[in-house]
Amino acid sequence: MPTSITPPPADDEVECANCGAYVYIGLTRCPNCGVSLYEPEDVEEKTSRFRSRSRFSRAVESILRKIRGEPDPAQELFTGALREKGLFEDLLRKVGGDRSAVERLIDYERQQRPGATRLTCLQNAIQRWEQENR
């Protein structure tokens, strides 16, 4: 009694290891998914770009970066987000801790300048709040 509903491949077919489709033996690539049927994919090439470094090499790199006065890559990535967080908290203090009021002020600034970033909208909202609450 068969254990599967799908029939086995015919004598002139092979099963694609990637997608399971039955493919004619003469083809070199699966017409369903495009993977090579006879040559293994070069997996090592894809993963070789991301090599883990030792703790020592990361420490040396950090020390050299400090000597040169260069910022940490993580600091470069998150500077905008940290600045945005600081401005949000500043505006939150100004409105007495009402988060919905802060979001309304940001939305208002976004309506005034639709292409502006959230950071710009926060800066403009703080300026507007300070002008209106002198």
Q: With 90 as the cut, is the pLDDT of residue 32 above it?
A: no
42 plus 84 within the same structural domain:
no
79 plus 120 within the same structural domain:
yes
Tokens of 53: 């470094």
Tokens of 5: 């509903």
Domain containing residue 118:
72-132
Q: With 60 as the cut, is the pLDDT of residue 65 above it?
A: yes
| Buried-state track 84-114, b at ≥16 Cβ within 10 A, e below 16 | beebbeebeebbeeeeeebeebbeebbeeee
127 plus 78 within the same structural domain:
yes
Q: In this predicted structure, what is the pLDDT of residue 40? A: 57
Question: pLDDT band at 26, cuts 50/70/90?
Answer: confident
Question: pLDDT band at 108, cuts 50/70/90?
Answer: very high
Gap between the Cα atoms of 73 and 50, Å rounded: 16
Looking at the domain assignment, is residue 4 inside a domain?
no
List all residues 6 or more positions away from 32 whose beta carbon is below 8 Å from its beta carbon.
Answer: 16, 19, 21, 23
pTM of the full structure: 0.47
For 115, how many CA atoms within 13 A lie in the half-sphere containing its CB? 0
Nearest CA among 88, 79, 76 for reference residue 118: 88
Looking at the domain assignment, is residue 109 inside a domain?
yes
Of 25-29, 93-97, 100-104, the poorest mean pLDDT is in 25-29
80 plus 123 within the same structural domain:
yes
Looking at the domain assignment, is residue 54 inside a domain?
no
Looking at the domain assignment, is residue 62 inside a domain?
no
Question: pLDDT band at 89, cuts 50/70/90?
Answer: very high
Looking at the domain assignment, is residue 121 inside a domain?
yes
39 plus 83 within the same structural domain:
no
Looking at the domain assignment, is residue 52 inside a domain?
no
Helices (H), the chain: 43-47, 55-68, 73-94, 99-112, 118-132
Number of domains in the chain: 2
Mean predicted confidence (pLDDT) in 1-9: 58
83 plus 126 within the same structural domain:
yes
Gap between the Cα atoms of 84 and 88, Å rounded: 6
Give per-residue pLDDT as tens, 34-60.
777 766 555 454 444 556 678 888 888
- What percent of the chain shows pLDDT beyond 70? 78
Nearest CA among 131, 93, 83 for reference residue 109: 131
